[in-house]
Amino acid sequence: MKFLAKCLALATFATAIPSLSAEEVYVYSSRKEHLIKPLFDMYEKKTGVKVKYVTDKAAPLIARLKAEGKRTPADMLITVDAGNLWFATQEGVLKSLDSKVLEENVPAHLRDPKNHWTGLSVRARTIVYNPERVKPTELSTYENLADAQWKGRLCLRTSKKVYNQSLVATMMANKGKEATETVLKGWIKNLAAKPFSNDTKVLKAVAAGQCDVGIVNTYYFGRLMKKEPGLKLALFWPNQKDRGVHVNISGAGITKHAKHPEAAQKLLEWLSSAEAQEQFAGLNMEYPVNPKVEAVKSVKQWGDFKGDVINVNEAGRLQKHAVKLMDTVGYR
């Protein structure tokens, strides 16, 4: 029957108008289905509120939100980086929230200063090394990887990935443009191979000995080690004596023209709560934003670290400048 109905929908080009009752929340998400669905199922079981979602990359979703304007069916936007939330705020598609719960659950540097969005999980971008070729005492900071001792030993992911753009943006905020440019030039000089298209490739290259060190998000490391525990890889937390490890967030905001703003806000608050946080971060081996919640065991064993407390909003604000700098020095 359902199949027939779909055929009919196709034949008549019928419009599927989302018939949203009060008991529903509609989400646009660039966080993937298998990382959000278990939580939405949990929420529905608990409250009876059904969460519907469409996934795509963040940029098209934001363009869609903007075009739909006040007629958008979406109540919430979830992204996997702060830059796109910053941009969504610039585009005026998110609304400012007044929530004591979020203020309590999420540290200030992981939220928008003007409360348009909040982080829901922390993604740490750190150094990975091959313990057979590198002693941890040789490592110190991101900047140090530009040093001549790493010549022909460094692997990086492409500059087209937002995680690297945020890393460079926050470095610029901390050290200034010129110092950052010197670091980038050093990195490029030290590369053992052309930049890779994803973090897993960087990890594999380090493990296989194509290079000795790389910069990756920790959950890629966790995921790969779970599958191939024997790999010669270890994490190092850089910059512990100054600003700390670079962190980005996966986060969310409520849309300006949400049809169910209260229901959406409740969902968002629940996602930041102790009950949901372990699962939200744990599904992808990330870190919870809520300081009262511990990371899952497999993540905790990598050790504690000091994270950068610069507001992640800066990553979005400076992203353009970071990309320009990376283009100029020839970091592809």
Partner 1 sequence: MTHQLVAEQLPKPPAQSSDNKHLMLLRVSLWGLALFVALPFIWILMSWQQIDAELWQHLTDTLLLELVLNTLQLVVLVGFGVVLLGVGLAWLTTMCEFPGRRWLDWALMLPLAMPAYVLAFVVLGFVDFGGPLHQWTGDINWLPDIRNGFGVSVVLTLVLYPYVYMMSRASFLQQGLTHYETARSLGMGPWKAFFKLALPMSRPAIVAGTSLALMETLADFGAVSVFNFNTFTTAIYKAWFDFFSLQTAAQLASLLMIFVLFALLSEQRVRQKLRYYQTHKTKQQGRIQLTHRSRWLAFGFAFTVFLLAFLLPSIQLLVWALSSLDDWNSNYWELVEHTLLLGGGAGVVTVTAAFLAALARHLCKDSSMNRLTSFIRLGYALPGSVLAVGIMLSLTFIDNHLIYPLFETLEWEAPLLSSGVAALLFAYLVRFISVAYGPIDSSFEKMTPTLAEVARSLGASQRQVVTRVYLPLLKPGLLTGLLLVLVDVMKEMPATLLLRPFGWDTLAVKIFEMTSEGEWARASLPAITLVLVGLVPVILLVRKTAR
Q: Which parts of this chain interact with partner 1 (CB under 8 A)?
A: 3, 6-7, 9-11, 13-18, 26, 32-35, 52, 54-57, 59-60, 63-64, 67-69, 71, 73, 87, 90, 158, 160, 162, 165, 194-201, 204-205, 207-210, 220, 223, 227, 284, 319-320, 323-324, 327-328, 332
Q: Which is nearer to partner 1, 56 or 262 (CB)?
A: 56
Q: Which is nearer to partner 1, 92 or 291 (CB)?
A: 92
Q: Which is nearer to partner 1, 111 or 201 (CB)?
A: 201
Q: Which is nearer to partner 1, 95 or 161 (CB)?
A: 161
Which burial class, exposed, middle or buried, applies to 324 when counting CB atoms under 10 A from its CB (0-12, 13-18, 19+)?
A: exposed
Which is nearest to 127 in space by CA: 20, 192, 241, 206? 206
Tokens found for residue 200: 């897993």
Provide the minimum distance between the beta carbon of 300 and partner 1 in the complex, in angstroms, as a whole number: 22
Residue 315 near residue 248, CB atoms below 8 Å = yes
Q: Which is nearer to partner 1, 90 or 96 (CB)?
A: 90
Strand 118-129 and strand 213-217: pairing?
antiparallel
Phi, psi of 242 (to 5 degrees): -120, -115
Q: Residue 7, Cβ neighbours under 10 Å: how many?
A: 10
DSSP state of 117: -
Q: Which is nearer to partner 1, 135 or 227 (CB)?
A: 227
Provide the minimum distance between the beta carbon of 163 and partner 1 in the complex, in angstroms, as a whole number: 11
Q: Which is nearer to partner 1, 26 or 269 (CB)?
A: 26
The pairs formed by 129-134 with CB atoms below 8 angstroms and a separation of 24 or more are: 129/206, 129/212, 129/213, 129/214, 129/233, 129/234, 129/236, 130/206, 130/207, 130/209, 130/212, 130/213, 130/232, 130/233, 130/234, 131/232, 131/233, 131/234, 132/232, 133/209, 133/212, 134/212, 134/213
Provide the minimum distance between the beta carbon of 195 and partner 1 in the complex, in angstroms, as a whole number: 6
Rounded to whole angstroms, the Cα distance separating 285 from 108 reads 22
Provide the minimum distance between the beta carbon of 103 and partner 1 in the complex, in angstroms, as a whole number: 28
Provide the minimum distance between the beta carbon of 231 and partner 1 in the complex, in angstroms, as a whole number: 9
Q: Which is nearer to partner 1, 36 or 146 (CB)?
A: 36
Provide the minimum distance between the beta carbon of 30 and partner 1 in the complex, in angstroms, as a whole number: 8
Q: What is the CA radius of gyration of the chain?
A: 21
Which is nearest to 310 in space by CA: 183, 167, 157? 167
Provide the minimum distance between the beta carbon of 129 and partner 1 in the complex, in angstroms, as a whole number: 16
Q: Which is nearer to partner 1, 152 or 291 (CB)?
A: 152
Give the number of residues written for the chain: 332
Provide the minimum distance between the beta carbon of 306 and partner 1 in the complex, in angstroms, as a whole number: 26
Provide the minimum distance between the beta carbon of 249 and partner 1 in the complex, in angstroms, as a whole number: 16
Residue 251 near residue 76, CB atoms below 8 Å = no
